Structures are given as structure tokens and as C-alpha cells.
Amino acid sequence: MTEMNLVQAIHSALRDALREDENVLLMGEDIGTLGGVFRVTQGLR
């Protein structure tokens, strides 16, 4: 198992969910093109 910090773990989980299910949708504060304050969603589409 790869060691990662909390931000990396959340990003990885979101990325996996988006890849596995086309019905997954991210909504909320700090979700956007730049990835929010902690860059958790950076690069996700």
C-alpha cells in the first residue's frame, strides 16, 4: 500500500470514484478548476 497524506488520499478516492462510475458528481465549496484551497480536486473532471 502506498503511503500518502490526507489530501492525497481524498484526491485518490475521488479520482477512483469518478473513473468507476459516470454518475458520480462532485458538488460543494472549493471544488473547481484549480482544485480548491488544498488542491484536493485539482485535475479531476
Question: How confident is the model at residue 20, as a pLDDT?
Answer: 98
Indicate the number of domains in the chain. 1
Q: How many CB atoms lie within 10 A of CB 11?
A: 20
Question: How confident is the model at residue 1, as a pLDDT?
Answer: 81
Nearest CA to 39 among 6, 16, 17, 4?
A: 6
Q: What is the pLDDT of residues 1-45, one digit of tens each?
A: 889 999 999 999 999 999 999 999 999 888 877 888 889 999 887
Question: How confident is the model at residue 32, as a pLDDT?
Answer: 79
Question: How confident is the model at residue 35, as a pLDDT?
Answer: 84
Q: Which domain holds residue 7?
A: 1-45
Q: Are 8 and 42 in contact (CB under 8 A)?
A: no
Decide: residue 21, CB within 10 A, 0-12 exposed, 13-18 middle, 19+ buried: exposed
Question: How confident is the model at residue 29, as a pLDDT?
Answer: 86
